[in-house]
């Protein structure tokens, strides 16, 4: 029996946050601080011929203006360094004078106040030579489009393929074949706290950046690389983080904050600097979820057994790589669903365009892949006249069945159990397949029509594909006879998901002490090493194991009378392997989470509006270390996926963002979200997870869009291969909004 | 959509002691001064750099600006500085002009409505203004203080284009006045936004009617939001509903006429075609709801 694991204890950050004591990056102030303001390019593709800062520099209160020539190594990037820190002439990297999307940064003003910095920014004169805008990923890779990065043929940033069996040999044997082209949209993270930070030189002489991110160690590396300084001269500290969802994995204000401090110090000015992006700057300045075009054909036998799948994925990477190659890997894994298919052919491309950069976002390529796979399953069920739940159970992965990349899944596969759980708890009944709506012979639909839909999903935990996943923690026990205080040092970012609380629970459980004895020291590269990113649903699993192990070591030292007893651990996940370049064969991941959802909708056939009346979500989390936080993550993921599916509509025209604020880009409010969510926690322990825990922050997101689309089909008989399913799209599909109107 | 400044630009805040002083000041500083009420649009537009006024002229504390008065023989007067939540909560509005409360409730959020005003909504002259239709169909008349003193300006013909009205330099709208409404009247405002709360109208339809000696037995008034450069009155649709006995076919014909009257644009909230189609659907619904309320 565990004492603290499995209990919904109060979050360790609750009191500070609800009383307003907690400092977010924008809340930190220094007496003599200077302010930064960024000049964004605000044009999608152009060469900068000249930058004239003389008028801006002459403005009283302006302390300095940074441009490309001031950046020691003017190139950075999480996966590959392909983005200039500042675009403009004088860049020491090839192509650094070219702006590739509206959010490219051109200059940074340092001034006595934010207002002066903004005024000076508007006085900077930039001479641009506009270049042709590449805004369509299919055109971008066609061979006819201009090349956006040196040495990148046909703008193909990344390509992956899978070859298993031979689909072409079995299409004849399929009783049904479903062929579709899916288009998934951009999505903005819309975290409450826009990018912000402060920076200064600390007492040890390190350039210290306070900000909000997802991986302190990686931020430190990227800053050091761009500034051409050793990493130990850079210190990154996370203040409280107001949401991240992947949008803080890549650099935003980190490098320019450090650069400004360096620039000032070189001129004998030792003053802290501060920056806060406003919402519009945030929306054009950070990445979005990848829009994807997924062309796919699946075939099944009359008994429902899947035989073959052929998939082509075209992912719009936007202007720079960010994490596009890794996101694409996840889409490859998820695009054939949690099912065994003997014959598979996948070709996947991430393509550079001049659109806003795409990057990490909760699900990391999974929601796009899952949409295609689950839509295909629901369409096959409809064509076969089969219960979509039964069809899934017939094909679901089990420990002995192989993924499309040719290997089995380690650590338990509970897909069938989770599907059964969701079907049972939602009282799922199959009453026959609905025929497709024919707009030429429209049915006389009543104003309100209801429908139910089902979808399943699986998602990896951790960064893998051959990368050796690792996570660091340190535990220090103080006291005499009894442990009076246990200091737990971790670097994992609490982005709002409750990570720190869960680490405190694990430490307290292992050490056999009460929670009030645990003191967390977190997210400061001065005394924490790398715990890895707050991504890929990985922190509970990875950092949880590191804390468990460090606590066990510290405890044995304590029992050996060491005072204080200090131990650290770097936990290494089981080995994985990269995609084989020819066949895609690999052991991609060491762990997965499994989820299934039933959704009930009402469609208003007069306005086209969809309301979601009920969601039943069953999620195998391995072990719920803090059940209330698990439910919070399920509900949060569903609300975010709800916006993705029917409301959020990020519009870009010729590379320019038409929805740069929250009056044009709407996210769901309390009256828009599903009326009712039943969260069902399934616990099939993972043999390597701490106390059996898997990851779970992303999984409930994956089946939502296809489950809603299936419910809408059940209601009105129309498959929506493109979303968000806006009211206008609904009415057009019903033949009600026609071109003659 | 370039937001040049992190906050508001610098401006002078002016609080004249009288309406005449305010009118003189506004006329003397034509193009660089603006009367100020709730500020819910003014501040946003100034922050975003669309308006660059040097002076904000606060007139909301001048005589009568903050009053709601109702007289059973002359009607309702709402001062220009009365916020929408007060209008919604007013017993006289609820009893005698419920359509105005119904429309005001759809504006933005409770917090915004604590500052936003009906007169401000009108003077802002956005085709999407949610309360403008109610004011038009109930015969609202603006009281205007200008350089030549007080005068009344009817809402018919008040709007010239998006953000443009017939007001002249020095003019301050001090109140909106409504006549006593005919016995047995009923109204309905249906707003379609992308979300349940706080979006601007993709389309808004106001319908209002009262029993009268006409072929249909009613006099019908309609107004449409977000479908033309100005708030639109579909006169032909009104005539159909007034001039023929009301049947499902008459309602459908009027809805079609309302749709044909509008000239919407495509924007991020919806396409012109969707808007037109929704005008037809929502007009049908609004008229049907009004008929149910009349009976």
Per-residue pLDDT reduced to its tens digit, A522-540: 999 999 999 999 999 999 9
Angle between helices A324-334 and A366-384 (to 10 degrees): 20
Domains for chain B: give ranges and CATH numbers.
1-181 (3.30.465.10), 186-294 (3.30.390.50)
In contact, B26 and B147? CB cutoff 8 Å: no
Angle between helices B248-261 and B272-294 (to 10 degrees): 140
> Nearest Cβ partner of A607 from B1, B197, B281?
B281
Pairwise CA distance, residues B275 & A741, whole Å? 10
**Predicted pLDDT at B270:** 93
Residue A253 maps to a domain: no
Pairwise CA distance, residues A405 & A335, whole Å? 12
Residue A172 maps to a domain: no
Residue predicted with more confidence, B1 or A642: A642
Contact B268 A651 (CB under 8 A): yes
Contact B274 A118 (CB under 8 A): no
Six-digit token string for A310: 């052929």
- Say how far residue A628 (Cα) sits from the centre of its chain: 22
Facing residues of A217 across strands? none
Sequential DSSP letters for A461-492: -SS-TT---EEEEEEEEEESSSEEEEEEEE--
List, for residues B166-199, the tens digit of each pLDDT value.
999 999 999 999 999 999 999 999 999 999 988 9
- Based on the domain organization, do A520 and A599 belong to the same domain? no
**For residue B10, what is the nearest residue in chain A, using CA coordinates?**
A115
**Predicted pLDDT at B9:** 83
Please name the residues in contact with B285: beta carbons below 8 A apart, sequence gap of 6 or more. Answer: A606, B190, B205
- Based on the domain organization, do A50 and A122 belong to the same domain? yes
Residue A58 maps to a domain: yes
**Predicted pLDDT at A443:** 86
Residue linked to tokens 């590739």: A100
A17 touches chain B (CB under 8 A): no
Q: Is the dihedral of CA B116, B122, B123, B128 positive or negative?
A: positive
From chain B, pick out residues whose CB is under 8 angstroms from the CB of A122. Answer: 4
Of the residues A131, A153, A175, the one at which a domain ends: A131
Contact B3 A668 (CB under 8 A): no
Contact A666 B270 (CB under 8 A): no
Low-confidence winner among A86-95, A481-490, B37-46, B283-292 (lowest mean pLDDT): B37-46
Contact B3 A663 (CB under 8 A): no
In contact, A651 and A658? CB cutoff 8 Å: yes
Please say if the pLDDT value at position A1 is more than 80.
no
3-state class (DSSP) for residue A520: strand
Q: A719 phi and psi, to 5 degrees?
A: -90, 125
Q: Is the dihedral of CA A669, A358, A733, A432 positive or negative?
A: negative
Mean pLDDT of B116-135: 97
- Based on the domain organization, do A432 and A519 belong to the same domain? no
- Based on the domain organization, do A528 and A644 belong to the same domain? no
**For residue A672, what is the nearest residue in chain B, using CA coordinates?**
B196
Interface of B with A in 4-43 (CB under 8 A): 4-7
- Based on the domain organization, do A42 and A126 belong to the same domain? yes
Contact A727 B274 (CB under 8 A): yes
**Predicted pLDDT at A738:** 72
Q: What percent of chain A has pLDDT over 90?
A: 98
Contact B194 A42 (CB under 8 A): no
**CB-based burial label for A627 (10 Å; 0-12, 13-18, 19+):** middle
Q: B75-79 and B68-71: which strand pairing?
A: antiparallel
Cis amide prior to A564 (ω within 30 degrees)? yes
B194 touches chain A (CB under 8 A): yes
Q: What is the mean pLDDT of chain B?
A: 95
**For residue A280, what is the nearest residue in chain B, using CA coordinates?**
B3
CATH number of the domain bearing residue A727: 3.30.365.10
Facing residues of A452 across strands? A600
**Predicted pLDDT at A624:** 98
A280 touches chain B (CB under 8 A): yes
A620 touches chain B (CB under 8 A): no
B52 touches chain A (CB under 8 A): no
CATH number of the domain bearing residue A78: 3.90.1170.50
Which among A662, A706, A584 is positioned nearest to A184, based on CA atoms? Answer: A706
CA–CA distances in Å: residue A407 to residues A327, A456, A577, A588, B228: 20, 20, 11, 9, 61
Which among A287, A371, A292 is positioned nearest to A323, based on CA atoms? Answer: A287
DSSP B70: E
- Starting at the edge strand found earlier in the chain, the sheet holding A176-184 runs A156-164, A343-352, A306-318, A292-300, A176-184
- Starting at the edge strand found earlier in the chain, the sheet holding A565-572 runs A518-522, A483-490, A470-479, A565-572
Residue A334 maps to a domain: yes
Helix (H) or strand (E) holding A275: strand A273-276
From chain B, pick out residues whose CB is under 8 angstroms from the CB of A115. Answer: 5-7
Contact A118 B6 (CB under 8 A): yes
Mean pLDDT of A580-589: 98
Pairwise CA distance, residues B284 & B290, whole Å? 10
Radius of gyration of chain A (CA): 26
Pairwise CA distance, residues A223 & A257, whole Å? 9
3-state SS, B8-43, equals CCCCEEECCCCHHHHHHHHHHCCCCEEEECCCCCHH
Of the residues A99, A114, A131, the one at which a domain ends: A131
Residue A626 maps to a domain: yes
Residue A84 maps to a domain: yes
pLDDT band, very low/low/confident/very high, at A740 (cuts 50, 70, 90):
low
- Based on the domain organization, do A539 and A587 belong to the same domain? no
Contact A736 B198 (CB under 8 A): no
List, for residues A102-128, the tens digit of each pLDDT value.
999 999 999 999 999 999 999 999 999
- Based on the domain organization, do A422 and A497 belong to the same domain? no
Q: Which residues constitute the domain of residue A110?
A: 32-131
**Predicted pLDDT at B3:** 46
**Predicted pLDDT at A466:** 96
- Based on the domain organization, do A479 and A515 belong to the same domain? yes
Residue A274 maps to a domain: no
Please name the residues in contact with A481: beta carbons below 8 A apart, sequence gap of 6 or more. Answer: none
Residue A162 maps to a domain: no
**For residue A607, what is the nearest residue in chain B, using CA coordinates?**
B278
List, for residues B82-124, the tens digit of each pLDDT value.
999 999 999 999 999 999 999 999 999 999 999 999 999 999 9
Low-confidence winner among A278-282, A441-445, A549-553, A706-710 (lowest mean pLDDT): A441-445
Q: What is the mean pLDDT of chain A?
A: 97
- Based on the domain organization, do A563 and A483 belong to the same domain? yes
- Based on the domain organization, do A726 and A591 belong to the same domain? yes
Mean pLDDT of A252-277: 98
Of the residues A97, A113, A131, the one at which a domain ends: A131
CA–CA distances in Å: residue A333 to residues A292, A296, A328, A641: 15, 14, 9, 20
- Based on the domain organization, do A561 and A587 belong to the same domain? no
Please say if the pLDDT value at position A354 is more than 80.
yes
- Based on the domain organization, do A510 and A561 belong to the same domain? yes
List, for residues A28-75, the tens digit of each pLDDT value.
999 999 999 999 999 999 999 999 999 999 999 999 999 999 999 999
Helix (H) or strand (E) holding A451: strand A448-460
3-state SS, A677-715, equals EEEEEECCCCCCCHHHCCCCCCHHHCCHHHHHHHHHHHH
Please say if the pLDDT value at position A634 is more than 80.
yes
CA–CA distances in Å: residue B176 to residues A105, A418, A461, B152, B155: 49, 62, 62, 9, 10
> Nearest Cβ partner of B281 from A606, A663, A668?
A606
**Predicted pLDDT at B295:** 76
B262 touches chain A (CB under 8 A): no
Which among A87, A89, A99 is positioned nearest to A131, based on CA atoms? Answer: A99
Which among A161, A166, A172, A53 is positioned nearest to A107, based on CA atoms? Answer: A53
Mean pLDDT of A693-714: 98
**Predicted pLDDT at B6:** 61
From chain B, pick out residues whose CB is under 8 angstroms from the CB of A281. Answer: 3
Please name the residues in contact with A444: beta carbons below 8 A apart, sequence gap of 6 or more. Answer: none
Q: Determine how many CB atoms are found less than 10 A away from the CB of residue A126.
A: 21
**CB-based burial label for B150 (10 Å; 0-12, 13-18, 19+):** exposed
Q: What's the gap in Å between the CA of B201 and the closest CA on chain A?
A: 12
How many domains is chain A built from?
A: 3
pLDDT band, very low/low/confident/very high, at B1 (cuts 50, 70, 90):
very low
Mean pLDDT of A541-545: 98
Mean pLDDT of B124-137: 97
pLDDT band, very low/low/confident/very high, at A440 (cuts 50, 70, 90):
confident
Mean pLDDT of A689-712: 98
- Say how far residue A152 (Cα) sits from the centre of its chain: 25
Please name the residues in contact with A380: beta carbons below 8 A apart, sequence gap of 6 or more. Answer: A176, A178, A298, A300, A304, A306, A386, A391
Six-digit token string for A394: 């017939």
Contact A669 B197 (CB under 8 A): yes
Pairwise CA distance, residues A677 & A679, whole Å? 6
Pairwise CA distance, residues B55 & B33, whole Å? 5
């Amino acid at each position: 029996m565990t004492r603290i694991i499995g209990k919904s204890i109060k979050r360790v950050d609750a009191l500070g946050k609800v009383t307003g004591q907690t400092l977010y990056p924008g809340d930190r102030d220094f007496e003599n601080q200077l302010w930064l303001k960024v000049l964004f390019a605000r044009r999608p593709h152009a060469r900068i011929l000249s930058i004239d800062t003389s008028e801006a520099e002459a403005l009283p209160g302006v302390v300095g203006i940074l441009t490309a020539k001031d950046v020691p190594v003017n190139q950075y990037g999480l996966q590959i360094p392909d983005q200039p820190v500042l675009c403009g002439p004088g860049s020491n990297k090839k192509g650094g004078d070219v702006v590739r999307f509206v959010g490219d940064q051109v200059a940074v003003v340092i001034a006595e106040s934010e207002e002066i910095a903004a005024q000076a920014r508007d006085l900077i004169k930039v001479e641009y030579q506009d270049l042709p805008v590449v805004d369509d990923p299919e055109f971008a890779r066609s061979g006819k489009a201009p090349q956006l990065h040196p040495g990148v043929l046909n703008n193909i940033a990344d390509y992956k393929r899978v070859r298993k069996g031979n689909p072409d040999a079995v299409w004849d044997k399929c009783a049904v074949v479903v062929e579709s082209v899916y288009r998934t949209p951009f999505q903005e993270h819309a975290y409450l706290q826009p990018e912000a930070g402060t920076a200064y030189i600390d007492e040890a002489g390190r350039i210290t950046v306070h900000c909000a991110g997802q991986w302190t160690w990686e931020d430190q590396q990227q800053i050091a690389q761009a500034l051409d300084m050793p990493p130990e001269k850079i210190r990154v500290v996370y203040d409280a983080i107001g949401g991240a969802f992947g949008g803080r994995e890549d650099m935003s204000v980190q490098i320019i904050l450090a650069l400004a401090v360096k620039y000032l110090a070189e001129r004998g000015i030792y003053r802290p600097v501060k920056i806060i992006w406003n919402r519009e700057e945030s929306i054009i300045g950070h990445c979005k979820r990848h829009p994807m075009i997924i062309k796919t054909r699946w075939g099944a036998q009359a008994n429902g057994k899947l035989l073959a799948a052929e998939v082509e994925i075209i992912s719009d990477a936007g202007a720079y790589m960010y994490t596009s190659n890794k996101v694409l890997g996840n889409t490859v894994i998820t695009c054939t669903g949690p099912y065994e298919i003997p014959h598979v052919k996948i070709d996947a491309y991430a393509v550079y365009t001049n659109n806003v950069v795409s990057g990490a976002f909760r699900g990391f390529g999974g929601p796009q892949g899952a949409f295609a796979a689950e839509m295909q399953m629901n369409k096959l069920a409809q064509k076969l006249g089969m219960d979509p739940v039964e069809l899934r159970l017939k094909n679901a992965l089990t420990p002995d069945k192989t993924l499309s990349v040719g290997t089995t899944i380690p650590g338990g596969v509970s897909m069938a159990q989770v599907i059964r759980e969701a079907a049972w708890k939602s009282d799922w009944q199959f009453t026959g397949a609905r025929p497709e709506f024919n707009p030429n012979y429209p049915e006389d639909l009543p104003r309100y029509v209801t429908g139910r839909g089902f979808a399943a999903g699986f998602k990896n935990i951790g960064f893998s594909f051959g990368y050796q996943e690792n996570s660091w923690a340190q535990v220090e026990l103080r006291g005499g006879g009894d442990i009076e205080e246990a200091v737990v040092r971790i670097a994992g970012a609490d982005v709002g998901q409750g990570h720190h609380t869960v680490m405190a629970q694990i430490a307290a459980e292992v050490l056999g002490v009460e929670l009030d004895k645990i003191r967390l020291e977190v997210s400061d590269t001065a005394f924490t090493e790398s715990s890895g990113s707050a991504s890929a649903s990985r922190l509970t699993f990875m950092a949880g194991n590191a804390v468990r192990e460090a606590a066990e070591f510290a405890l044995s030292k304590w029992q050996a009378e060491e005072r204080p007893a200090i131990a650290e651990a770097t936990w290494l996940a089981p080995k994985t392997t990269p995609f084989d370049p020819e066949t895609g064969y690999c052991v991609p991941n060491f762990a997965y989470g499994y989820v299934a959802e039933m959704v009930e909708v009402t469609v208003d056939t007069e306005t086209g509006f969809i309301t979601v009346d009920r969601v039943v979500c069953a999620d195998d989390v391995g072990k719920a270390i803090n059940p209330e936080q698990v439910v919070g993550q399920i509900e949060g993921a569903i609300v975010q996926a709800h916006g993705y599916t029917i409301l959020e509509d990020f519009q870009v025209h010729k590379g320019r963002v038409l929805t740069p604020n929250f009056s044009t880009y709407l996210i769901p409010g309390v009256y828009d979200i599903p009326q009712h969510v039943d969260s069902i926690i399934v616990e099939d322990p993972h043999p390597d997870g701490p106390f059996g825990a898997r990851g779970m922050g992303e999984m409930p997101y994956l089946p939502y869009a296809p489950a809603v689309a299936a419910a809408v089909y059940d209601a009105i008989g129309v498959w929506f291969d493109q979303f968000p399913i806006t009211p206008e799209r609904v009415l057009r599909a019903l033949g009600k909004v026609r071109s003659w109107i | 959509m370039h937001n040049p400044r992190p906050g508001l630009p610098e401006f002078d805040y002016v609080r004249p002691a009288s309406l005449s002083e305010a009118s003189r000041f506004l006329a003397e500083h034509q193009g660089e001064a603006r009367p100020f009420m709730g500020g819910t649009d003014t501040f946003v537009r100034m922050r975003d750099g669309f308006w660059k006024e040097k002076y904000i002229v606060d007139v909301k504390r001048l005589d009568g600006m903050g009053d709601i008065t109702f007289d059973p023989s002359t009607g309702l007067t709402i001062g220009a500085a009365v916020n929408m939540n007060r209008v919604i909560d007013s017993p006289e509005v609820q009893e005698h002009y419920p359509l105005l409360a119904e429309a005001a409730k759809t504006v933005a959020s409770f917090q915004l409505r604590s500052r936003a005003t009906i007169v401000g909504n009108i003077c802002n002259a956005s085709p999407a203004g949610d309360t403008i239709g109610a004011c038009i169909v109930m015969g609202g008349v603006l009281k205007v203080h200008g350089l030549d003193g007080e005068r009344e300006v009817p809402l018919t013909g008040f709007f010239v284009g998006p953000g443009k009205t017939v007001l002249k330099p020095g003019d301050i709208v001090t109140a909106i006045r409504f006549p006593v409404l005919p016995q047995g009247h009923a109204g309905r405002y249906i707003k379609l936004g992308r979300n349940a709360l706080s979006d601007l109208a993709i389309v808004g339809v106001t319908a209002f009617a009262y029993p009268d000696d006409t072929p249909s037995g009613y006099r019908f008034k309609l107004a449409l939001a977000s479908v033309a450069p100005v708030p639109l009155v579909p006169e032909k649709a009104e005539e159909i509903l007034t001039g023929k006995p009301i049947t499902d076919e008459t309602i459908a014909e009027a809805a079609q006429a309302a749709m044909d009257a509008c000239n919407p644009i495509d924007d991020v909230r919806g396409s012109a075609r969707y808007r037109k189609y929704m005008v037809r659907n929502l007009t049908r619904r609004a008229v049907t709801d009004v008929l149910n309320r009349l009976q």
